[in-house]
A and B are shown apart, each in its own frame.
Chain A
């Protein structure tokens, strides 16, 4: 599995798409900080929206920029679809899956390796995103809004929470990819998931569904509106979904004609 992950990183180092993705991610961070704008769909709930409005109407500091940067997580999902396509989607579209699966790797190692690669990619890209927000805020002469230690801690927390939560949605995309052997349906699922869950929670009033709103989870961590007991439930559900997706994908793959 380690060899597979190394091979995927080697391939990405020679991928123009990954380079473009990095540029776009950094550009999004710079632009949103510079223009004091957030783009994306907020799904964190009324308390989150209220708090977001308070922050937006206040003085823009470096810390403010980072908190609002987390609000653009849904936009990051659209960008990170490229990671999904480059790391695992093209194994199907270029028919190289048969080479990979005959290299002596088990199905579970293959899926887990791909998920770990995607997670690592997303964490690195998200780190670059928040660093670009931090750097742009400082370059524009804005006040830090917190000590350096707090800013560094927030950068790490937001990177992990946003990156991991997006990877949970992508893990669901992996299940659909393995099931349908098409990159189109998973891409659609990844895009609509946050919106779909938000709509279902609002219209069907199924409160428990909000724990599947992984973007909302990340946004609430960033703004600090999440209660501790809710954080544990969100974390448990997210880890459970990843585990189920990885094992489920491996089981489906072992029964599929490649």
Chain B
């Protein structure tokens, strides 16, 4: 597909007896902001290191913009990355580190450095040595060095680690601007779903080296809503009854499910109302709507009991299964 930036196909990686990645397949399209979520040690960083060529491939295939990784190292010049902690020459200034990246990538536009430093909010630190920057400023410098060559794909490994709440918010805004203004495709990892939720358009859940689920933002949005989830035989009729009785707001999710976005609603009278009107009620669930609960629920399933993680997960919906 011409629109595919990154195609990870059946990638496995083993360190000795430890299976770090097990048959992972992910496709990222141009313009996606893909959030890779998993607990510490789940395999997120390993996957990112494989994509950037920092870790040798063992099994599977990774294709970047149509070029298979390992066959053409120049393709790596079209991706930017901050893997693990951002690295810079500590004795060089921010500006000198940027200049170094510009030379490495053969960039000749002198204004690009100032523009990029301005973009990440480091203009005032141009003459400051990289070793004297705070953690948040180092993260910004790492981001600036990664985006200077205007990469097609930007890979960020736990970019908000160690940032204070204000820093997290600013970083989030930076990522949103990158996607919007520079149309950069992003792959971001985190172990905090709620943080990725605010920036990502697609999500991949990884646990014990396996991709256990992929969902879109819209699917996750459904999960992130607290209320009463009704499973009925005819949602259209049920919706009409709820509307007539003033039990609002609610959202018809499909032919059988309705989410009433209201908490502390007694399920008994609701059940009686619907049944008396001729609607068959299968289930009434109290939906908590917490992303972290959703994440934990996914992780609590034994990954060994699941089938191989493939893109078939993509359209399975984001309900609390």
Contacts and interface: CB of A to CB of B under 8 A. Distances in A.
Interface string B74-96: 11111101010101111110001
A249 to B, nearest CB: 15
B145 interface: yes
Interface string B97-120: 001110111100000000000000
A15 interface: yes
Contacts of B87: 94-96, 98-99
Contacts, number: 78
A106 B73 contact: yes
Given A7-B103, A98-B83, A258-B54, A104 B91 contact: no
B52 interface: yes
A257 interface: yes
B54 A257 contact: yes
B21 to A, nearest CB: 13
A103 B89 contact: no
Contacts of B77: 103-104
Interface string B51-76: 01111100000000000000001111
A183 to B, nearest CB: 15
A257 B309 CA distance: 25
Contacts of B125: none
B217 interface: no
Given A6-B103, A257-B54, A258-B55, A104 B89 contact: no
Interface residues of A, number: 29
B4 to A, nearest CB: 20
A37 to B, nearest CB: 34
Contacts of B54: 98, 101-102, 257-258
B49 interface: yes
A257 B145 contact: no
A57 interface: no
Nearest to A100: B104
A180 interface: no
A35 interface: no
A11 B106 contact: no
Given A3-B103, A3-B104, A100-B104, A15 B83 contact: no
Interface in B32-62: 49, 52-56
Nearest to A16: B91
Contact of B55 (A4, A15, A257): A257
A118 B87 CA distance: 23
Interface string A90-128: 100011101111111111010000000000000000000
A227 interface: no
A109 B76 CA distance: 14
B104 A7 contact: yes
Given A11-B89, A14-B92, A257-B56, A99 B101 contact: yes
Contacts of B91: 15-16
B85 A104 contact: no
Contact of A256 (B56, B88, B90): B56
Contacts of A99: 87-88, 101, 104, 145
A95 B49 CA distance: 14
A8 to B, nearest CB: 9
A7 B83 contact: no
A103 B90 contact: no
Contacts of B83: 98
A258 B49 contact: yes
Nearest to B77: A104
A106 B73 CA distance: 5
Given A15-B91, A98-B54, A3 B101 contact: no
Contacts of A14: 92, 96
A146 B59 CA distance: 66
A254 B57 CA distance: 10
B100 A11 contact: yes
Interface string A1-37: 0011011001100111000000000000000000000
B79 A102 contact: yes
A94 B53 contact: no
Contact of A104 (B74, B90, B145): B74
Interface of A: 3-4, 6-7, 10-11, 14-16, 90, 94-96, 98-107, 109, 254-258
Given A10-B103, A98-B87, A257-B49, 13 more contacts: A3-B103, A3-B104, A3-B106, A7-B100, A94-B89, A95-B85, A98-B54, A102-B52, A103-B76, A104-B74, A104-B77, A104-B78, A104-B105
Closest 10 CB pairs of A and B: A104-B77, A106-B73, A258-B54, A95-B87, A7-B103, A103-B104, A104-B74, A7-B104, A96-B87, A104-B76
28 contacts: A7-B100, A10-B100, A11-B96, A11-B100, A15-B91, A16-B91, A90-B89, A94-B87, A94-B89, A94-B90, A96-B88, A98-B52, A98-B54, A98-B81, A98-B83, A99-B87, A100-B104, A101-B76, A102-B52, A102-B53, A103-B76, A103-B105, A104-B105, A106-B73, A107-B73, A109-B73, A258-B49, A258-B55
